Amino acid sequence: MTTNASTHPLSAPLPAPESTAADAPVAIREDRLWHDAGWMARVIKNEDDDGWAVEMLQDGEPEPALVGPWTMGRDKKNPKPLDQAAFNTLVKTASEVLLRHQQQHHAALHKRLTVFARDRQWEVRLDIVPDEYEPYALLSAFDEAGDELAQLRVRPDFRLTSASATAWIIDDFRHPQREDE
């Protein structure tokens, strides 16, 4: 029995899912409230003085990524209305603030430095694991070729300095003593 590909039930193209208005994000463009591209700008009363402020919230986040002063309108009483150029600038600024925060957080948890000990160059890394119940850090030593030669679990408050890294290498990678011990 031969079947025609166009009439075979498994070869028929699937119908495209119907999209509803609820599926598409709604862009809001009001004088004091803009929402578009995953961001919301909201002009609010500045609690610190008589002026106005604008807050930028990323969709799904409970706290604003950015809060800053907002310009008064011509009547010197009401805020200047939001517009596309201002919204774009606010989105860019808020995105940069979040990026810097992420970079700073990463730098606080992952430290590295280069030391010279035992007639060679070493890269020593401290990677903090901020577990809620049992935080710890991994202290690692790498040779010039990038091969890991030692790794040790240490307290998360271990202070990685050139002196502590060099002492650890010279002491054959034994567990370093705490300064208060």
Q: Which residue has the higher pLDDT, 155 or 48?
A: 155
Which helix (H) or strand (E) segment holds residue 100: the answer is: helix 84-109
Whether 37 and 98 share a structural domain: yes
Question: Which domain covers residue 127, as residue numbers?
Answer: 118-170
In a domain, 49, yes or no: yes
Q: Return mean pLDDT, the chain.
A: 88
Whether 101 and 41 share a structural domain: yes
- Over residues 160-170, mean pLDDT: 97
Whether 93 and 123 share a structural domain: no
Looking at residue 10, its pLDDT comes to 47
Per residue, what are the HEC states of 48-92?
CCCCEEEEEEECCCCCCCEEEEECECCCCCCECCCCHHHHHHHHH
Question: Which strands, in side-by-side order, build the sheet including 52-58?
Answer: 28-29, 33-36, 39-45, 52-58, 66-70
Looking at residue 85, its pLDDT comes to 97
Looking at residue 129, its pLDDT comes to 97
Whether 82 and 139 share a structural domain: no
Eight-state DSSP code of residue 19: P
Q: Count of domains in the chain?
A: 2
In a domain, 21, yes or no: no
Looking at residue 50, its pLDDT comes to 79
Phi, then psi, of 124 in degrees rounded to 5: -115, 130
What is the number of residues in the chain?
181
Whether 96 and 130 share a structural domain: no
11-57 confidence digits (pLDDT tens): 445 455 554 445 556 899 999 999 999 999 999 998 878 799 999 99
Whether 84 and 123 share a structural domain: no
